[in-house]
């Protein structure tokens, strides 16, 4: 029997088809690629965006390996709908790669040539240039190459993930009179992918040669007495998401380090070859790597566009880069005063990268140097291999402070750096813990305990982003400094949970995943929806990187149907269809792609005069809600709440330069300035990031 209570707690199902997550990820990369097309973007930055898309696609294939592993199965083992979806996804991925290379060959390279910068192919080189390249090959390249002729005693060599290689078809006989037809040449990663020609061979231009063209021009030198026939460069992408059964290992750090050894040789998921590669060679490679034909990408250019970033460093032209941006010191802080004393007067918000991460480092630096600070606790997710922050923690230990660091060893593609830091910190006496088995610790928190007279006061830093000074200058994030005793007590309890896994008291202010975050967000959405149903003005504005959690999306759809006006600022993957008549009429989705990577998470709820705003480390994805340790915390100071509303939400909703809107059909359209009613001319375009940059530069000047 269904009770009245169960009816209240069981939400009605939402009849909708969610958008495909992987398609949404590819659409995001298409929006990023648009920056490489924009003529108002400096030339080298356009090249950088092309490289960013290529890097993103590499990670897409490395992590979303199911794209091709399922296609490799017999058709009978696949659901017809799944097969159709996978084939559609493959088609979009191929189209995006083709678009990249068309942009590279037809737009960017001609633009560089017009400016006197050129990557010179073998056929375009003068006799003097060919002699120089020949000398470079003999001196710097050939000693590092060891071609492998394939036969029963010389099987196909191990090819590392994303490494550059050549496959060569040979005719004639080898030294033993045999007809070994296929050889593989592995190109060491230590070789530069682009080499600048000397000025005396370049005239007034800036000329480069690629390492692939250098090797290609001298393949015949690697096989004396043989005739080189068909050949091609190739690159294999492998599944690289580490899988470790945490329940079945005694030492997670050791298990992960062992897994890192094999990461470069995981299951193959994509094969890239030169556009003109002979079919007999591609057929051989596809068989070797056990890939279907759909996993083959024929490219008109280098098989690894990511390595074009070397050109950005080699071409010394500041005018082709974004004007340098010097982040201001956080305007709520005065550099000459104690950070602790300033936090005592009120909570501090730092909007990165418009304000400098130096404010966070100054907080930690003061804690390290202050003799009254007794203990420092911090979570580490991504901090990089060369970190000022980690050096400060090392100094804290040397000064006799109790330092506890929760290191997330499973931060994807940062595992090795985090393992190395964990070992270094343990060596000098830091208490290092690795969080909870089966969960990633993604929460960003730093807690300082300081003796003040006869009491110990805690100071805390919470953030939507990582403790990484490099990315802090490239990502938009919000840092929050407080000595609010309820919040700092909550943080202390969360650290206790991560260290000893015992039950902790009910938290005062923080909302913790995987325990309460999803439920709390659902409760807030339901509360706003009930208000809207009663005719109370209601609003939800959410800013995050991804929205894929079905329960939360269902709740948003129901709230929209109840009359709640919902604006979603989702940078990347969004599975919730917007503006569908009769379903999501009140839901609008936009994506901002700018000079800086949008990374902050802000959740705003309004019902009449009742409003709440939370910052969080979590995107609205099922993994963040249920398989990670995440935090959300309220901003209760009205002035700070108004500042976040203005800078992180409303300004982005007004953007008409870097914004894209999600249409009812699942496609994104670039937002254009609206027409003015008075004279029918477009309004002044507004870029949220450009406006914030100007505001903070003005504050710095003052």
Largest CA distance in the chain: 90
**pLDDT on residue 7:** 32
Domain 33-252+266-320 belongs to what topology?
polyphosphate kinase like (3.30.1840)
**pLDDT on residue 452:** 94
**pLDDT on residue 253:** 55
Helix H or strand E encompassing 154: none
Domain 513-701 belongs to what topology?
Endonuclease; Chain A (3.30.870)
- Is 351 noted as a catalytic residue in this protein? no
Q: How far apart are the two ends of the chain, measured CA to CA in Å?
A: 69
Strand partners, 314: none
**pLDDT on residue 249:** 44
Domain 339-507: homologous superfamily in CATH: Endonuclease Chain A (3.30.870.10)
For helices 80-103 and 21-37, the axis angle rounded to 10 degrees is: 10
Q: Which is the catalytic residue, given 239, 442, 461, 586?
A: 442
**pLDDT on residue 172:** 78
Cα 377 from Cα 354, distance rounded (Å): 27
Instruction: Please indicate whether the domains covering 33-252+266-320 and 339-507 agree at the CATH topology level.
Output: no
| DSSP assignment string, 333-381 | --TTS-HHHHHHTS-EEEEETTB-THHHHHHHHHHHH-TTEEEEEEEES
Helix H or strand E encompassing 247: none
Q: Is-above-0.85 flag for pTM? A: yes
| Pair 54, 48: CB distance under 8 Å | no
Angle at alpha carbon of residue 456, lines to 454 and 459, rounded to 5°: 145
**pLDDT on residue 291:** 92
Torsions phi, psi of 69, nearest 5? -65, -35
Give the sign of the dihedral formed by CA 373, CA 377, CA 383, CA 387: positive
**pLDDT on residue 248:** 47
Residue 330: exposed, middle, or buried by beta-carbon count in 10 A (0-12, 13-18, 19+)? buried
**pLDDT on residue 283:** 96
Domain boundaries, the chain: 33-252+266-320, 339-507, 513-701
Cα 305 from Cα 20, distance rounded (Å): 27
Averaged in consecutive runs of 10 residues, what is the pLDDT profile of the chain (702 residues)?
Answer: 37 72 95 96 97 94 68 50 79 96 97 95 94 96 92 85 94 75 93 94 93 94 90 91 53 58 78 96 95 94 92 91 92 94 97 96 96 94 76 92 84 66 80 82 94 95 92 95 97 93 91 96 97 95 97 97 97 95 94 96 95 97 94 97 97 96 94 67 85 86 46
**pLDDT on residue 181:** 87
């Amino acid at each position: 029997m269904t009770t009245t209570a169960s009816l209240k707690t069981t939400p009605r199902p939402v009849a909708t088809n969610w958008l495909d997550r992987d398609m949404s990820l590819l659409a995001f990369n298409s929006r990023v690629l648009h920056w490489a097309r924009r003529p108002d973007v400096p030339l080298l930055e356009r090249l950088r965006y092309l490289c960013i898309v290529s890097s993103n696609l590499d990670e897409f294939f490395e992590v979303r390996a199911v794209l091709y592993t399922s296609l490799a199965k017999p058709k009978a083992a696949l659901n017809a709908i799944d097969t159709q979806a996978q084939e559609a996804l493959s088609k979009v991925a191929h189209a995006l790669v083709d678009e990249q290379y068309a942009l590279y060959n037809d737009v960017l390279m001609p633009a560089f040539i017009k400016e006197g910068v050129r990557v010179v192919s073998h056929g375009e080189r003068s006799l003097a240039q060919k002699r120089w390249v020949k000398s470079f090959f003999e001196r710097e390249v050939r000693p590092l190459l060891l071609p492998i002729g394939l036969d029963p005693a010389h099987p196909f060599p191990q090819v590392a993930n994303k490494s550059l290689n050549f496959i060569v078809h040979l005719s004639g006989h080898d030294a033993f009179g045999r007809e070994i037809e296929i050889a593989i040449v592995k190109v060491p990663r230590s070789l530069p992918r682009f080499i600048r020609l000397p000025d005396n061979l370049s005239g007034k231009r800036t000329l480069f040669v690629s390492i692939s063209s250098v090797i290609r021009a001298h393949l015949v030198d690697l096989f004396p007495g043989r005739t080189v026939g068909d050949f091609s460069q190739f690159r294999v992408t492998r599944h690289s998401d580490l899988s470790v059964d945490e329940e079945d290992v005694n030492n997670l750090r050791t298990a992960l380090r062992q897994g890192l050894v094999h990461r470069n040789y995981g299951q193959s998921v994509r094969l890239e070859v030169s556009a003109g590669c002979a079919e007999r060679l591609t057929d051989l490679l596809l068989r070797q790597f056990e890939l279907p034909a759909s996993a083959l990408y024929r490219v008109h250019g280098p098989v690894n566009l990511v390595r074009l970033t070397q050109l950005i460093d080699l071409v010394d032209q500041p005018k082709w880069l974004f004007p340098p941006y010097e982040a201001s010191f956080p305007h709520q802080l005065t550099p000459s005063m104690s950070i602790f004393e300033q936090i005592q007067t009120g909570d501090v918000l730092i909007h990165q990268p418009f304000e400098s991460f130096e404010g966070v480092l100054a907080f930690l630096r003061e804690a390290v140097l202050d003799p009254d600070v007794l203990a420092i606790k911090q979570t580490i997710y991504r901090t990089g291999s060369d970190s000022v922050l980690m050096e400060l923690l090392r100094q804290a230990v040397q000064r006799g402070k109790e330092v506890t660091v929760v290191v997330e060893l499973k931060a994807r593609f940062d595992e090795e750096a985090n393992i190395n830091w964990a070992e270094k910190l343990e060596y000098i006496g830091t208490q290092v813990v690795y969080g909870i088995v089966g969960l990633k610790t993604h929460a960003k928190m730093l807690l300082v305990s300081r003796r003040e007279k006869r009491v110990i006061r805690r100071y805390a830093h919470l953030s939507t982003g990582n403790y990484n000074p490099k990315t802090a200058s490239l990502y938009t994030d919000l840092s929050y400094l407080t000595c609010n005793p309820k919040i700092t007590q909550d943080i202390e309890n969360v650290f206790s949970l991560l260290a000893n896994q015992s039950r902790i008291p009910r938290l005062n202010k923080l909302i913790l995943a995987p325990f309460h975050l999803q439920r709390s967000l659902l409760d807030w959405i339901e509360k706003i929806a009930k208000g809207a149903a009663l005719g109370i003005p209601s609003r939800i504005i959410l800013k995050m990187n991804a929205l894929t959690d079905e329960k939360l999306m269902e709740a948003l759809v129901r709230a929209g149907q109840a009359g709640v006006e919902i604006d979603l600022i989702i940078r990347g993957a969004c599975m919730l269809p917007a503006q569908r008549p009769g379903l999501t009429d009140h839901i609008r989705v936009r994506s901002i792609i700018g000079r800086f990577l949008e990374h902050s998470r802000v959740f705003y709820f309004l019902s009449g005069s009742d409003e709440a705003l939370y910052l969080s480390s979590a995107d609205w994805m099922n993994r963040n809600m249920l398989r990670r340790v995440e935090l959300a915390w309220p901003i209760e100071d009205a002035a700070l709440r108004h500042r976040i509303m203005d800078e992180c939400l409303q300004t982005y909703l007004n953007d008409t330069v870097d914004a894209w809107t999600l249409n009812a059909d699942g496609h994104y359209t670039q937002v254009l300035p609206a027409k003015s009613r008075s004279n029918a001319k477009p309004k002044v375009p507004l870029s949220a990031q450009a406006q914030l940059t100007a505001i903070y530069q003005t504050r710095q000047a003052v």
